[in-house]
Amino acid sequence: MFTVSTSPLLHPSIRNNAFMPRRCIGHIRLHTTPSIRGCTLSIRSSSSPDAGFTCIDGKKEGKSISDEIKIEVSRMDASIHVVPGLAVILVGDREDSASYVRNKKKACESAGIKSVDVCLPEDSSEEEVLKYVLSFNNDPTIHGILVQLPLPSHLNEHNILKAINPKKDVDGFHPQNMGLLAMRGREPDFVPCTPKGCIELLHRYNVEIEGKRAVVIGRSNIVGMPVAHLLQNEDATVTTIHSKTKNPEEITREADILIAAAGQPNMVRGSWIKPGAVVIDVGINHIDDLNAPRGRRVVGDVCYEEACKVASAITPVPGGVGPMTIAMLLSNTLTSAKRIHEFE
């Protein structure tokens, strides 16, 4: 069986057994472009149990990116009098979707991006949704279009996403963008925000991806599948675990990088994790907790209390991947506006 060594490598970004995230200076320089390779390994070896554990702070990194975007938005407005615009279409009244849309709107306002929200009733027809999509396609003040998923079951998600102009598909779910992401040597106009945020966190915490064993739990079009493609583009050896996988814990214990996106609370236990692995927890699950202020609390797909005793680094829930998802959406919207107006 092929195994990947996890012996520690020295790197100037590691001080006192802790990660020191790389900083972006000047214009926004995300690290997720295909041309960037060879980040440096920051994975604790099982032979050094006293090495420090790192909580990967997505909230801090997301704010750093958003602050840089705000500067670029101001520069663009001052130079060519154009403000990037994002349109969000929400169908139905799912509490989690509505909360996410509110957070996006707040983030847009903070970064100086124009935000337009359309909230449609649960029983809206496909034609009604498509009417707004086509309207935003033709609106020169809108540079990004996002249809909040999941859609009500009576709507054809494929038809609606396909109707979005790929050049404004800042969520990265248009079949053209998803197809290009899956093809080696091709670049989509946009990469889905949550997978892009996962890879960006790995880069900012100097986690080496090239040549490492990565395991993704989940194969959804939203997270699992695109993040597996991104890891392959970074030259990781990638395994995907899904509902039909037998003995998943045996596979996850071989992972140097583990990304959990199954939507199952506390599914991944400490015993599933290879000592020293880096864990990215994408899950957002609400569970009952009589000790919580509202009788419920949010947990990830990974049992954090157990994982932090085994892993070298992990994203918390909340405060990990979520803020990075929104930061990547803002980044994609700014990128779209720059392309459309040929602004450097």
For 114, phi then psi, to 5°, come to: -70, 130
Instruction: List, in sequence order, every beta strand (DSSP E) within the chain.
Output: 14-15, 18-19, 54-55, 85-91, 114-120, 144-147, 213-217, 237-241, 257-260, 278-281, 285-288, 296-299, 313-314
Q: Counting every residue, how long is the chain?
A: 344
Asked if omega into 166 is within 30° of 0 (cis), the reply is: no
Do 290 and 211 contact (CB within 8 A), yes or no?
A: no
Would you please indicate which residues are annotated as catalytic (active-site) residues? 104, 148, 171
In the block, residue with structure tokens 């506006």? 337
Instruction: List, in sequence order, every beta strand (DSSP E) within 70-176.
Output: 85-91, 114-120, 144-147
